[in-house]
Each structure stands twice: as C-alpha cells, then as structure tokens.
C-alpha cells in the first residue's frame, strides 16, 4: 500500500513539475517525456533529441561523445541553446544521468532534464524594470522636493523682501497719487506672483505632507479644488490613519492628485468619495466617483495616468484595482502593506 502511494506521488510530480523530463536512448530517441517537456520543446515520443548549440560547435576528441553532459558525467548541469520546433532555439539549463542499461540491446538510457531559462530571464528583466521605475519615481520626487523648497525658501522669500521694500517706498511718496497708484499695481502683481509661487511649490511637494501627514494634505487639496470648481462635492474620510512611511505618503498623495485631475477633466462627476483606512497590517484607499465612466482600452491620456498610479502602487508592494463602466462611474481600490517593502 505504501509503495503504491509512493508511486502515485512520483507520478503526480512527473506530470506537474515545471521542468521538462525526458527519458531517451543512447541514440537520443525519446522513450518517455512529461507534459512540461512537450510544452517546452514540441517534441513527441519517438522523436530524436537534437544536440544543443554548444555541443554542435565545441571542440572534442574524435572518440568523445558529441553530448557534453554524457561525455562529462561529473558536470551536474550547464546552460546552452536547444533547437526546438519550427527552427526556434531556447535557452535552457540541462542535466543528464545514465539511469538504465537495456539487458537485450546493451544500450544505456538517459534521463535528460530541461529547465526553461527564458522565463527566468523575463522575470529578471521585469525585476530590473521595476527597479528602474522605482529609481525614476524616487529621483523625480527628490527633485520635486528640492524645487519646492527652492521656490518656497528662495524665490518666495526674495519676493517677500521686495514686498517689504515696496511698503517702505510707499511711506515716502504718500503725496504722489500717481506714483502711489503705480506702486499699488506693482504690489497687486507681486502678490499674484507670490500666490502662483506658493501654488507651484504645493503642486511640486506640499510642505504639509512632510510636516503634518497625508490626511491634512489631501484635505487641503480638496479645499483648494472646491474654491475653484463648483458643483463637485469631494468628501474625505479616514480610519486609523496616522503618519506613514514617507514613500507611502507621497505616493498615495500623487495617486490622489492624479485621480482628482482625471475626475475634474474627464469624468463630469458631481460626487467623489475618498476613503483611507489603516490597520495593523495594511493601508486601504478607495477613490470613487459618480462620473460618466470609461472603457480602459479606449482612452489615452487618462490611461497613461492610470498606469502611473499602478506603477506607484506596485513600487509599494501593493495591489491596484481600477473598475469603471460607462455611465456608472469609476472606483479605484488600493491595498498596500503598512510598512514600505525593503528592496535590494
């Protein structure tokens, strides 16, 4: 009974393992192969296993077998290109072992194991791309922070000094109505520039984000939008939200910025509800509107913004679900770990 169960386990492993397993004769005729080997190579039982690119081009002794692995039993595995169906070649890690000598023919049979390296390469490339995207986002935010600080502390303070100087000049020319009128015009223009500088600084990196946190900063953004746009009710509710990792705060703020921008520009919504919840393990954010909705594959500019949202969530190790139907509004659901994942 135990032997039967063991055989069933081995059969399950043979059927479901992702590595290609092939039993071949010394002539390289395939006797058996598992489903993974068939999917990987397209070969069938009775076909002959071709030699890999390395074996076909390597220098060898005249009496030495063409197959490098068979000729060098001490080599556990090596990488090469294996010709498969339709003239294609794939990168594989190969290993082989003599497992049986046929008593009737005296021919040795070999176990050949193929491990697909193309999937591994794609995974490695995806990991590198994620690191590059993360580095670009972090560099961009760092530059935004620097520019915002420069605008606020540098340009902003210089303009404030000019404003003080104008007040001093104004006190000396009280009897000159024409000059006073001109100074008032300059003062009004200066105030407009100072307001613009503050707005640009806030868009680049709100000081309140570093000083007060995510909730007050989002609320300030909502209040500013309400002053400019009528007919759009935006509500923010939170639960358990205190200070988070700085990377979490800036990315969730940018996502909120992008979502509100898209809603204002495209959605024709009258109501928006932003809810953020934080518990012991995760942070949850939902941004829902009652706008006209959209079909993701039919939008361009807003679609790029949505992709940027997803990239930011991905960098935080979270998930982002964007659901929308025409005429039924849009809902963005985000879940991220409470603490930012550590990366190599």
Which of 317, 279, 222 minimizes the C-alpha distance to 214? 222
For the beta carbon of residue 316, count every other beta carbon within 10 angstroms. Answer: 23
Report whether 298 contacts 306 (CB < 8 A): no
Checking if the pLDDT of 233 tops 90, the result is yes
Give residue 260's pLDDT.
93
d(CA 312, CA 307): 9
- The pLDDT confidence band at residue 170, using thresholds 50, 70 and 90, is confident
Fold of 213-343: Heat Shock Protein 90 (3.30.565)
Question: What average pLDDT does the chain have?
Answer: 83
Enumerate long-range contacts of 264-269, CB under 8 Å, 24 or more apart.
Answer: 264/225, 264/229, 264/232, 265/302, 266/291, 266/292, 266/294, 266/299, 266/302, 267/291, 267/292, 267/293, 267/329, 267/330, 268/292, 269/232, 269/329
d(CA 185, CA 340): 50
Which of 55, 56, 18 minimizes the C-alpha distance to 34? 18
d(CA 54, CA 13): 30
Give residue 97's pLDDT.
86
**Among 43-47, 124-128, 305-309, whose mean pLDDT is lowest?**
124-128
First-residue to last-residue Cα distance in the chain: 49
Checking if the pLDDT of 19 tops 60, the result is yes
d(CA 308, CA 119): 26
- The pLDDT confidence band at residue 342, using thresholds 50, 70 and 90, is very low
**pTM of model > 0.95:** no
Q: For the chain, give the percent of residues with pLDDT over 70.
A: 89
**Among 54-63, 139-148, 313-322, whose mean pLDDT is lowest?**
139-148
Tell me the mean pLDDT in the region 190-219.
81
Tell me the mean pLDDT in the region 283-301.
86
- The pLDDT confidence band at residue 281, using thresholds 50, 70 and 90, is very high
Strands of the sheet with 30-33, listed across from one edge = 30-33, 20-25, 108-116, 89-101, 78-83
268: left (phi over 0), alpha (psi -120 to 50) or beta: left
Fold of 1-117: Beta-Lactamase (3.30.450)
Domain residue limits, the chain: 1-117, 213-343
Q: For 76-115, what is each residue's pLDDT tens digit?
A: 788 888 888 777 888 888 888 888 776 777 788 888 999 8
Q: For 137-165, what is each residue's pLDDT tens digit?
A: 777 777 776 776 666 666 767 777 777 77
Q: For 253-262, what is each residue's pLDDT tens digit?
A: 999 988 998 9
């Amino acid at each position: 009974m135990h032997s039967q169960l063991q055989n069933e386990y081995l059969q399950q492993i043979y059927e479901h393992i992702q590595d290609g397993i092939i039993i071949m004769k010394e002539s390289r005729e395939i006797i058996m192969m598992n489903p993974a080997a068939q999917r990987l190579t397209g070969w069938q039982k009775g076909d002959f296993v071709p030699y890999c690119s390395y074996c076909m081009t390597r220098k060898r002794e005249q009496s030495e077998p063409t197959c490098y692995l068979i000729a060098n039993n001490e080599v556990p595995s090596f990488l090469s290109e294996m010709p498969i169906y339709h003239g294609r070649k794939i990168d594989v890690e190969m290993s082989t072992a003599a497992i049986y000598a046929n008593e009737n023919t005296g021919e040795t049979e070999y176990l050949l194991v193929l491990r697909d390296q193309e999937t591994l390469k794609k995974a490695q490339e995806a990991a590198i791309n994620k690191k590059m995207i993360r580095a670009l986002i972090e560099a961009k935010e760092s530059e935004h922070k620097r520019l915002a600080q420069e605008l606020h502390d540098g340009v902003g303070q210089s303009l404030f000094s000019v404003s003080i100087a104008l007040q001093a000049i104004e006190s000396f020319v009280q009897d000159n109505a024409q000059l006073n009128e001109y100074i008032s015009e300059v003062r009004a223009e200066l105030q407009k520039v100072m307001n613009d500088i503050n707005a640009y600084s806030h868009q680049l990196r709100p000081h309140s984000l570093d000083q007060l946190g995510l909730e007050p900063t989002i609320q300030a953004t909502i209040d500013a939008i309400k002053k400019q746009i009528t007919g759009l009710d935006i509500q923010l509710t939170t639960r358990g939200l205190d200070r988070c990792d700085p990377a979490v705060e800036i990315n969730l703020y940018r996502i909120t910025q992008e979502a509100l921008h898209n809603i204002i520009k495209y959605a024709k919504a009258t109501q928006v509800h932003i809810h953020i919840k934080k518990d012991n393990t995760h942070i949850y954010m939902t941004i829902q509107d009652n706008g006209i909705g959209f079909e993701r594959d039919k939008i361009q500019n807003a679609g790029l913004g949505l992709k940027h949202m997803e990239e930011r969530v991905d960098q935080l190790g979270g998930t982002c679900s964007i659901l929308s139907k025409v005429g039924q509004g849009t809902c963005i659901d985000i879940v991220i770990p409470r603490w930012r994942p550590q990366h190599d």
